[in-house]
Amino acid sequence: MARKIVVTGGKGGVGKTTVCANLGIALAKRSHRVLLMDLDIGLNNLDVVLQVEDKVVFDFVDVVENRCRPSQAYIQDGEFPTLYVMPSCHLAKRQISADQVKKVIGRLEDNFDYILLDCPAGIDSGFRRAIACADEAIVVVTPHLSSVRDADKTVGELVGNVVVSVVVNRVRGDLVASGEMLSAFEVFSLLGQTALGVIPENDDVNCNARQSKNGAFDMLAENLQTGNCRIYDCVSPYRGIFGKLKRKLKRNV
Ligand SMILES: Nc1ncnc2c1ncn2[C@@H]1O[C@H](COP(=O)(O)OP(=O)(O)OP(=O)(O)O)[C@@H](O)[C@H]1O
Ligand SMILES: [Mg+2]
């Protein structure tokens, strides 16, 4: 039976969809069967990030409203055959209850090792619907105070309902080394939850999940699978004399 994990974070734009897609790829690379479900209903994103948008025939809402079977709506990835995406609908928001989502997941969970649920921003009805369907939550946060504050509120909603862990995304090692950005460890300690991983700010990630050669996501997948806590080190390349030089160069780019 699949582990059902919601990828959430409170604040919009912190990288929930990016983490969901890249973590799915990293797990599929480890031969796990992974289903990514886009629960940001009305705003399809996952199919776009994973570049399968043109293969969408049916979507999640079609499954819920019995226009097709679940297996007709999920799309197998062209590159990683154990990775599947269930797209959200492209049209306006629909009233879908947590029970309806749970029912769909219940029909699918025996076919997968992991079901990752991409959650909408905020902590209102879309968030509640998503967390009601999961056993575990990954809270994505960036090292900015506004994001940490929203993540903290999100954690408050999650604790007691699901097992919570934290991923700090968009860490800039050069700024942490110069003391201009919170370190991932400061963020973990502010949130007081299990550290699952650190993802650096990365231009590859920005352009295309599929081309990302980001070892941080492999480490994240390993931590999720094994329960280890190996943390990607974004900062040490920017320490010492050569590090200072790199920092200067980066600042001038
Ligand atoms: N580690 C990263 N490095 C560089 N860019 C990133 C990184 N993570 C995310 N981004 C970029 O940040 C933007 C927002 O990411 P994403 O859509 O994943 O956020 P989100 O939390 O899902 O947003 P929403 O709340 O709207 O659903 C995207 O342009 C994405 O490419
Ligand atoms: Mg998103």
Distance CA 218, CA 134 (A): 22
Please tell me the total count of domains within the chain: 1
Mean pLDDT over 91-112 rounds to 88
How far from 26 is each of 34, 80, 168, 184, 200, CA to CA, in Å? 10, 10, 17, 21, 16
- Beta carbons of 34 and 116 less than 8 angstroms apart: yes
- Label residue 207 by pLDDT band (50, 70, 90): very low
Contact 11 CB / ligand 1 (< 6 Å)? no
Nearby residues for ligand 2 (ion, Cβ within 5 Å):
16-17, 45
Q: What is the CATH number of the domain that holds 205?
A: 3.40.50.300
Contact 4 CB / ligand 1 (< 6 Å)? no
Distance CA 20, CA 17 (A): 5
- 7 versus 54: the higher-pLDDT residue is 7
For residue 237, what pLDDT is reported?
A: 87
Q: Is the pLDDT of residue 16 over 90?
A: yes
Mean pLDDT over 156-171 rounds to 97
The number of the ligand 1 atom at minimal distance from the alpha carbon of 207 is 31
For residue 210, what pLDDT is reported?
A: 59
- Label residue 44 by pLDDT band (50, 70, 90): confident
Contact 18 CB / ligand 1 (< 6 Å)? yes
Distance CA 171, CA 175 (A): 8
Q: Is the pLDDT of residue 214 over 70?
A: no
Q: What is the pTM (predicted TM-score) of this model?
A: 0.94
CA torsion angle 147 85 222 231 (round to 10) = -20
Full residue range of the structural domain in which residue 208 is found: 3-252
Q: How far is the CA of 41 from the centre of ligand 2 (A)?
A: 10
Name the least confident of 55-59, 112-116, 204-208, 243-247.
204-208
